[in-house]
Amino acid sequence: MDTVRYLYRMPYKIALVDDQSRILDQLSNELNSSEMVDVVFTARNGADYLLQMKNLPAARHPQVVLMDIEMPVMGGIEAVLNSCARYKNIRYLMFTVSDDDDKLFDAIVAGAHGYLLKDEQADVILEAIKEIIEKEGSPMSPSIARKTLKLLLREPGKKIKNDSVTNDLSDKETKILKAMVAGLNYKQIGVELDLSPFTIRNHISKIYSKLHITSKAQAINLAINNKWT
């Protein structure tokens, strides 16, 4: 890895979000040793990331966040949705073992700028960070890029039209949507509203139908962008 050319420039500021401490430590050490990046902080889940961002001076905000998808408390897609609404200049690179079509699409809808699998080498990750910041690119692992192309060819019209959707939700549905934005799962929402998980699922199905969407990520995206919560 050629790091000499980065010695006379400020390193890129990044944050790492993953629930596995071993991955956080290993990746943080590998990236920091390149002198190309400065790992501003690490977080164990999306909620932890948002809390640290809230208490971090703007001058120390990361330029790129490497975000895992599957995490407890708040997953990466929900975290990106919430972060996009608050921090407009931060870019998000999903870093995960998952190449599931739905999660891939939801991550893109949420605002992800790139998508790498966790088996990528450190130099590939560094080049992806550079591409996002300097070229405003959308780096992806080759297998993910192929899946993305197939997904777009299969569903060319699948997108969210925020400006054409109205909020016709009931008070209870709005409370459920707020809980979804907060990162709660069906069981947690049920406990908070004293309803069964089955009833919560039915309400969420009605929310999707009213908003003309098909996923939790799309619901959160609409709620945040339209300031419904």
Q: Both 147 and 71 in a single domain? A: yes
Predicted local confidence at residue 136, as pLDDT: 83
> How many domains is the chain partitioned into structurally?
2
In the three-class reduction of DSSP (H, G, I as helix; E, B as strand; rest coil), residue 43 is classed as strand
What Rg, from alpha-carbon coordinates, does the chain have?
18
Taking a C-beta distance cutoff of 8 angstroms, is the pair 148, 94 a contact?
no
Best mean pLDDT range from 48-52, 75-79, 143-147: 48-52
- For residue 195, give both structure tokens: 């309803």
Q: Both 147 and 170 in a single domain? A: no
In the three-class reduction of DSSP (H, G, I as helix; E, B as strand; rest coil), residue 115 is classed as strand
Candidates 182, 193, 164, 188; CA nearest to 224 is 182
Give the separation between CA 91 and CA 132, rounded to whole angstroms.
7
Q: Provide the whole-model pTM.
A: 0.65
Q: Both 20 and 83 in a single domain? A: yes
Candidates 144, 75, 64; CA nearest to 105 is 144
Q: Both 45 and 77 in a single domain? A: yes
Enclosing domain of residue 212? 162-225
Q: Both 22 and 104 in a single domain? A: yes
Question: How far is it between the farthest Cα atoms of the chain?
Answer: 59
Q: Both 95 and 150 in a single domain? A: yes
What's the N-to-C CA distance of the chain in angstroms? 46
**Res 66 pLDDT > 90:** yes
State the sign of the Cα–Cα–Cα–Cα dihedral 59, 220, 18, 133. negative
Amino acid at 159: K
**pLDDT tens for each residue of 184-197:** 777 888 898 999 88
> How far from the centroid of its chain's Cα atoms is residue 110's Cα?
6
Q: Both 134 and 206 in a single domain? A: no
Q: Of 154, 182, 208, which residue is a domain's last?
A: 154
Strand order in the sheet with 37-43: 37-43, 12-17, 64-67, 91-96, 114-117
**pLDDT tens for each residue of 170-216:** 889 888 888 888 777 778 888 989 998 888 888 888 888 788 776 77
